[in-house]
């Protein structure tokens, strides 16, 4: 219990700090009367993430579920706080020759030409934080409500299936974002032919933030996989993670050729990996000739029960 209270207090503390950072940055942008749209539009993301942070603050005090207090959630909130604080300092540097009433033309030029990718990366980190917390809070709410017996079986099954579908969409989006991040890293030039000190500093800052964006994307993907695992387990009694088949191999996990009472067996299966030309099977399996699992003609098959 003490560990749970400590984890909850930790999440509450960092969530409160992140809310303050979001509010401070939003107010700063509001006070720049002649801010470019690229800067002003950041407030759309800040105003979207703030209420989710507040919901987490509340949930962490009343919901002791492991998913709400997970390391991924804590990491997402800490990164949001760090990103907002860092962007606040960066914005002050960009606008150092300006006043709240008027942006000096050189500052607007710098923002327009050199900082677009930096702004894009910052907004992506805010989006990852919001998505991580939304998936966490939605899953925790559904699981808590079901476990407390608020719904009939039909409604319970429907809610769990809907949550599974929603999480699958988020995983697909996370994978697409990961590809975009990899492209950004590949397209980022090693250095300019004759870089100025300011240009090289901007490049290094952008590289660091893209790496942090990659880390936040990884954290988002992990929380989606955990939420999906918990949702599937609540619906089926099966907890299955990381089933992989590579090269010419085949992997099976879960129920295979099982009907009736056999489907009521609870299973907690972690990683099942088939590498090279091998195969792996884990779960409740009947009437299976394992010689048939070897894929013919170098075709790779992946099956999850």
Residue-wise pLDDT for 215-245, tens only, equals 999 999 999 989 988 898 888 776 665 555 5
- How far is Cα 277 from Cα 190, in angstroms, rounded to an integer? 39
Phi, psi values for residue 177, rounded to 5°: -65, -40
Residue 304 pLDDT class (50, 70, 90 cuts): very low
Of 200 and 42, more confident: 42
- In angstroms, rounded to a whole number, what is the distance separating the alpha carbons of residues 30 and 101? 11
272 and 219: one domain?
Answer: no
Going by the DSSP 8-state scheme, the letter that residue 290 receives in this structure is G
- Band (pLDDT 50/70/90 cuts) for residue 137 is very high
Predicted TM-score of the model (pTM): 0.72
Q: Render pLDDT for 156-196 as a digit per residue (tens, 0 to 9).
A: 889 999 999 999 999 999 999 999 998 888 877 665 555 66
What percent of the chain is modeled with pLDDT above 90? 31
Based on the fold, state whether residues 184 and 296 are members of the same structural domain: no
- The chain-wide mean pLDDT, for the chain, equals 76
Handedness of CA 106, 27, 122, 9 (dihedral sign): positive
User: What phi, psi does 73 have (nearest 5°)?
Assistant: -65, -45
Q: How many domains does the chain have?
A: 2
Strand duo 301-302 + 250-256: pairing:
parallel
Radius of gyration (C-alpha) of the chain in whole angstroms? 24
Tell which residue, 135, 151, 304, has the closest CA to residue 228: 135
Of 213, 236, 259, the domain-final residue: 236
Between CA 189 and CA 30 the distance in angstroms is 33
Instruction: Look at phi and psi of residue 102 and say left if phi exceeds 0, alpha if psi is from -120 to 50, else beta.
Output: beta
Residues 50 and 170 in one domain: yes
C-alpha pair distances (Å), 155 with each of 149, 159, 194, 227: 11, 6, 64, 19
| Whether 41 and 123 share a structural domain | yes
Q: Do 250 and 142 reside in the same domain of the chain?
A: no
Res. 289: pLDDT tops 50: yes
Are 131 and 265 part of one and the same domain? no
Same-domain check for residues 279 and 164:
no
Same domain as 273, residue 142: no
Measure Cα distances from 186 to 178, 203, 207, 295 in Å: 12, 13, 11, 36
Q: Which domain holds residue 221?
A: 2-236
Question: Is pLDDT of 200 > 50?
Answer: yes
Which of the residue ranges 63-72, 99-108, 202-211 would you say has the lowest mean pLDDT? 99-108
Residue 275: count other Cβ atoms within 10 Å of its Cβ: 14
Long-range contacts of 84-91 (CB under 8 A, 24+ apart): 84/18, 84/21, 84/22, 84/24, 84/25, 84/46, 85/21, 86/209, 87/25, 87/42, 87/122, 88/21, 88/24, 88/25, 88/28, 90/118, 90/205, 91/25, 91/28, 91/29, 91/39
The pLDDT assigned to 7 comes to: 57
pLDDT at 254: 56
154 shares a domain with 8: yes
Query: What is the distance between the alpha carbons of residues 268 and 17, in angstroms, rounded to a whole number?
Result: 37
280 and 189 in one domain? no
């Amino acid at each position: 219990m003490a560990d749970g209270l400590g984890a909850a207090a930790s999440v509450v503390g960092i969530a409160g700090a992140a809310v303050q950072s979001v509010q401070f940055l939003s107010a700063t942008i509001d006070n720049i009367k002649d801010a470019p749209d690229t800067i002003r539009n950041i407030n759309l993301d800040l105003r979207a993430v703030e209420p989710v942070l507040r919901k987490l603050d509340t949930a962490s005090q009343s919901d002791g579920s492991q998913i709400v207090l997970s390391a991924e959630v804590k990491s997402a909130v800490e990164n949001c706080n760090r990103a907002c604080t860092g962007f606040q300092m960066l914005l002050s540097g960009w606008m150092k020759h300006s006043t709240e009433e008027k942006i000096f033309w050189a500052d607007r030029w710098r923002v327009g030409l050199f900082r677009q990718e930096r702004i894009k990366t910052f907004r992506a980190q805010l989006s990852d934080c919001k998505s991580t917390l939304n998936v966490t809070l939605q899953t925790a709410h559904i699981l808590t409500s079901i476990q407390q017996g608020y719904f009939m079986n039909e409604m319970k099954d429907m809610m769990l299936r809907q949550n599974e579908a929603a999480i699958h969409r988020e995983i697909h989006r996370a994978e697409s974002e990961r590809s975009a991040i990899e492209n950004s890293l590949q397209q980022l030039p090693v250095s300019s032919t004759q870089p100025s000190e300011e240009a090289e500093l901007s490049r290094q800052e952008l590289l660091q933030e893209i790496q942090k964006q990659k880390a936040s994307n990884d954290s988002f993907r992990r929380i989606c996989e955990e939420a999906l695992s918990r949702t599937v387990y609540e619906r089926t009694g099966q907890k299955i993670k990381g089933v992989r088949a590579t090269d010419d191999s085949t992997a099976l996990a879960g129920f295979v050729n099982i009907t009736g009472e056999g489907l009521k067996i609870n299973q907690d299966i972690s990683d099942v990996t088939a590498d090279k030309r091998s195969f792996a099977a884990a779960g409740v399996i009947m009437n299976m000739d394992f010689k048939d699992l070897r894929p013919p003609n170098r075709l790779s098959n992946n099956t999850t029960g």
